[in-house]
Each structure stands twice: as C-alpha cells, then as structure tokens.
Amino acid sequence: MTVAIIGIGLIGGSLAITLKENGFAGHIIGIDASQENLDKAIRRRLIDEDLPLEEGVKKADLIILATPVDAMLTLLPQVLDLVEDQVVIDVGSTKAELLNTVDQHPRRSRYVATHPMAGTEFSGPEAAIPNLFDHKCAVLIDADCSAPEAVKLVRKMYESIPMTIVELDREAHDLHSAYVSHISHISSFALALTVLEKERDEGRIFELASGGFSSTVRLAKSSPNMWIPIFRQNRDHVLDVLDEHINQLARFRSLLIKKDFDTFYQLIAQANDIKRILR
C-alpha cells in the first residue's frame, strides 16, 4: 500500500516509521510546506520520496493529513477534490470545525476523521519516534459519515500498530479533548510562566527542578504553531474547563489565606482519587 503523509512532523513522521516497520505501508510519500522538513525526513528515512500535493495524492492509496489543524481546513477540501476511490484521514486534535467544512463535499465518504491519542512535547521530523502509538487509543469520529470499506481500512491501519479504537461524534470528541488534554496544556503553560516570573535565577530552576516540577511542566515545551489553532477551534469547550480550573486554584488560595489545612487535606485526598483511574 502506498501512503502519502501531508505534514511530516512528530505525528506524521512517527506514523511513517510505524506503518513502514510493521509492513502496513510499502511506500511512503512525504508532502510538506517545508522543503527543509522533507529533506530531513528523507535523511532520517521516514519517507521514500517527497512529491508536490497533487502528484502525491494521485499516487497514494491512503492519504494522511498531519499538519496543524488550521491548515487542514483548506487542505482537506483540496485533497478530497483530488481523490477518486482512495481513502483520506486526518490526525488532528479538534474535529467539529473541520468536519463542518466538508459535510457537503461530494467525496465526503472517502474521508475518515481520526485522532490518535499519543504525542510528545516535541515537533518536526526530528521528533518522530517509533512505538509512539503502541497500545494507545485511536478515536474515529462520526464514522457513520464515511464509506464502510474506508472505515474498515482505517481500523486495519490502527489495529496494525496496535492501537485500541473508540468511536465518538464530533461534539463529544472536542468536549472530552478539552476536558482532559487541552486544559493540561494551558495549566502547564501557566505553571512555566509562573516559575519563570517568580524565579529569575535560571540556575536555581535547573538545580531545584525535581521530578515533580519537570513532569508537570513538560507540556509547556509544546509548540505554539500546533496549539494556537487548537485553542482557536475549541475555544468554547476550553473556556468552560478553564473556568473550572481557575475555581479550583482559587479554592486552594482561599484555604491557604484562611489557614484551613483540614479542608486543604481533604481536597488533596479527593484529588488522589485520580489514582483509581490512572495508575
């Protein structure tokens, strides 16, 4: 099978390694806005060749969109204009706006919306790694709008990795992604800014950063090029969960002011309940 990947960065590049290694893809074509990224992808052997969009799409059996989500809004209709019986997927972190854009497209059924729930804080082809997706979850969104054999191929692709598959509709996907993933990034960006503001001695940050600080602030290393389009598209759900997060921070602040450490203790014990869900 020939697979074309548009956007050969962390997610596109990691999929390229995985699908080549496990034999799902025999030939991988890279398509990217940046020739520098394509050259790096060739040097790292993530892709077999790079081609312009139209040529790459025509030559592929499966086309994977892996650019930031704002670029997908123009790329997906363009790609659907070019396909006949090929299958197109995206791996973007938000779905409602993208799916609304192509609802009426004559080739809509050739497209399957997906979101592999795996990543790191790094970007670009140099960040691509094998095993990124192993045993993680892949979400198929509004799969009943896609041709059954297209969904079957996409299931086969994710199962080859192997990933577990769940199905959601576009609203539920964006809501739950805001509640779990998007808020974690805002929280980490805010923590990094807090520490950079209060602790002006960078040497001290480095010396005193224990495992706790490093792991909590890890997501703050993520690229604004990828995250701003996500916050723009999922603004309402993110605002909803951000309000709750600010309320929780305000509760801790108020308890500290009142020196009410009994209630503080209870809140931490309640927070520990997350251990039941995530070991």
Enumerate binding residues for ligand NAP (CB under 6 A): 6-12, 32-34, 37, 66-69, 71, 75, 91-93, 116, 119, 123-124, 127, 223, 225-226, 230
Closer Cβ to ligand NAP, 124 or 213, answer by number:
124
Cβ of residue 167: shortest distance to ligand NAP, in angstroms? Answer: 17
Pairwise CA distance, residues 62 & 274, whole Å: 39
CB of 253 to ligand NAP, least distance (A): 31
CB of 172 to ligand NAP, least distance (A): 17
- CB nearer to ligand NAP: pick between 132 and 153: 132
- Please say which residue, 109 or 223, places its beta carbon nearer to ligand NAP: 223
Cβ nearer to ligand NAP, comparing 76 with 150: 76
Nearest approach, Cβ of residue 11 and ligand NAP (Å): 3
Which of 10, 92, 8 has its CA nearest to residue 49? 8
Q: Please identify, using beta-carbon distances, which residue of 147 and 176 lies nearer to ligand NAP.
A: 176
6/183 with CB nearer ligand NAP: 6
CB of 53 to ligand NAP, least distance (A): 8
CB of 261 to ligand NAP, least distance (A): 37
